[in-house]
Structure 1
Amino acid sequence: MSYTGNLKTFIRVYELGSMSAAGRDQRISAAVASARIGELEKHLGVRLFNRTTRSLHPTEQGSIFYKGAQKILEAIDEAEGAVADVSRKPKGSLHVGAPLGIGKRLIAQRIPEFKDSYPEIDVRLRLSDRKIDITVEALDMAFVLGILEDSNFRVRHIADCPRLLCAAPGYFVDRPRPRTGKELMEQDHACLLHRYPGARDFVWTLETPEGPQRFEVASSLESDDGDVLTAWALAGRGIMLKPRFEVAEYLASGELVPVCEDNPPYAVSLACIFPHKRLQDPKSRLFIEFMVAAIKQALADLPEPATTAA
């Protein structure tokens, strides 16, 4: 294995704190990951990790070497990017993260078209509704809804996405359809919650004449998968909060109807976040520009909701 490959394995072992986790990330066995670390230690003449049967911790030398190894790989990435820029044939792998809703409806179906234009760029798409950590998951970029406060990343704003509360018409057969947040609370409606560690959607912030107002909602049905909530809503099990692009087809067909239209939720920012160094990588720039244009067009082409009576 090359010295560069050993460095990449070392960095992932250091960041993930486990040979087996780093092996899975690198698509190698834990034994191979351990062997690569051993080669590095032999080359450097120092121990990089203190190992026991149950734990692995970097030594002081390992922590120092980690910072240097990062700079080495960043320099290699920039050099390869410069060569690719000159040759006009960008190549390599891109690791991209996104929530399930964005990934399935706005990104995944457009990746083959990007691949047709740039056949030597491989795209590894990872979808999850849990909070994405670019560093831990070794991603080149991630598409997100909402503003991140981490100043270590650059943010490419794509669009402000309207959101709404909605439910199936059948849910209102034997109950009133609320038009305001106050009615939502007073009528004791069933709310379908998108909840995972760190999620805050159990507090819905709605626009009112008095300004933003927070409504604490509770439910016996919640999931960390947004598509599960949509299925429950379509089955008439309650009211959910969604970006319009995720449910546009159901609003157009009348299978879902808007709720609390006098107090709608605030729009949320759709953006792409990425480390500063990725600006120097032509394949990253190409993918971001391609997706920004494609997503904007997809949002512009969303069908209009059906006209329904309250």
Structure 2
Amino acid sequence: MSYIDNIRTFVRVYELGSMSAAARDQRISAAVASSRISQLEDYLNVRLFMRTTRQLNATEQGEIFYVGACNILETIDEAEAAVSSVTQSPRGLMHVAAPLGVGRRLIAPQVPLFKADYPLIDVRLRLSDRKVDLTAEGLDVAFFLGVPEDSTLRIRKIADCPRVLCAAPAYLERKGIPETPMSLVSGEHDCLNLRYPGAPEFQWPLQTPDGVTKFAVKGPFESDDGDVLTSWARDGHGIVLKPVFEIADDLAKGTLVPILKSTPPIPIQMACLYTHRKHQDPKTRLFIDFMVARMQKDLQSRQ
């Protein structure tokens, strides 16, 4: 297996453009990753990467070997998946990504239950509100809220999630209750916004008498963690746009109060993404089916 491990490390180094990033991705040390690349280069008797203190670039031989290496790994993965399907004992490692709110509330509680049903499958769950790249990050499945940008990926819809504009009673007492969506862009109110590298400009799409209208909101607070925005809103620092399932408890307790009910936000799609090849893997299909059924039930209870 050492040669295959070397190939897997090479592919991740090539895709991530960094020895240390590939090492973190494979949960090995940078020294081990470097050693694997060196072993591969010695075996092939070629230089696969040109290394400097600042950059790591594939050589011409490395470019050629990457194509073949991907084919090798794909063939191995397909063979292992076929064996798992026949033996009905799916095994292996799943790399899964999800937004923070979705992951913490809907996915993380179900992972131990999935593991109990399928003890030979290990799950590595990564939570972040930033957009992820399945191929570059070596992911099997990525859950998301919104509309995917990559049309080449397969999508499994989970639900359309209602959203709400809300704020703490203390904020509304201090700033007043917005009467129209224009109050959000006039400077009268503080809007709490999700910001991460590459995020689009802040625009809240609301249902108005003229149809769906996007409002370019502003505010003094931004974060790349949606739960931080909820905490700020709860503490009276502004208005937040959230899926109902994320703040159901706050709405029930009255710590957050819905506003602009006559012009509500449009629902947001929740779904999961995967490649066509990944869907051939029995453990991927099992994980998606398991999670989707339980997430749909959980969402119904929260909404």
Q: TM class, shorter-chain normalised?
A: over 0.9
Q: What's the counterpart of residue 283 of structure 1?
A: 283
CA drift at 1:9: 0.4
What amino acid sits opposite 1:115 in the alignment? K
What amino acid sits opposite 1:165 in the alignment? L
What amino acid sits opposite 2:243 in the alignment? P
Q: Which runs of 5+ in 1 are unaligned?
A: 304-310
Q: What's the counterpart of residue 134 of structure 1?
A: 134
Distance 1:201 1:163, change over 3 A: farther
CA drift at 1:52: 2.2
> What are the within-5 Å matches in structure 2 for residues 1-310 of structure 1?
2-186=2-186, 188-200=188-200, 202-302=202-302
CA drift at 1:186: 4.7
What amino acid sits opposite 1:209 in the alignment? P
- Aligned identity (percent) is 59
Check the 8 A contact 1:168/1:236 in 2, yes or no. yes
CA drift at 1:173: 1.4
CA drift at 1:5: 0.4
What amino acid sits opposite 1:299 in the alignment? L
Bigger shift: residues 167-176 or 54-63: 167-176
Check the 8 A contact 1:180/1:261 in 2, yes or no. no
For 1:201 and 1:178, the matched residues in 2 are separated by 22
Check the 8 A contact 1:48/1:58 in 2, yes or no. yes
For 1:287 and 1:267, the matched residues in 2 are separated by 25
What amino acid sits opposite 1:68 in the alignment? G
Q: Secondary structure at the match of 1:101?
A: helix
Q: Secondary structure at the match of 1:301?
A: helix
Check the 8 A contact 1:193/1:201 in 2, yes or no. no
CA drift at 1:6: 0.6
CA drift at 1:187: 7.0
Number of equivalences = 303
For 1:75 and 1:200, the matched residues in 2 are separated by 38
Distance 1:201 1:159, change over 3 A: farther
Check the 8 A contact 2:201/2:216 in 1, yes or no. no
Distance 1:116 1:172, change over 3 A: same
What amino acid sits opposite 1:150 in the alignment? D
Q: Which runs of 5+ in 2 are unaligned?
A: none
For 1:49 and 1:175, the matched residues in 2 are separated by 59
Q: Secondary structure at the match of 2:241?
A: strand
CA drift at 1:182: 2.5
Bigger shift: residues 248-257 or 198-207: 198-207
For 1:195 and 1:53, the matched residues in 2 are separated by 32
Q: What are the superposed Cα offsets for residues 38-92 of structure 1, whole Å, 9 maximum, x if unpaired?
A: 2212222221111223321101111111111111111111110111111111111
Q: Secondary structure at the match of 2:126?
A: strand
Check the 8 A contact 1:179/1:262 in 2, yes or no. no
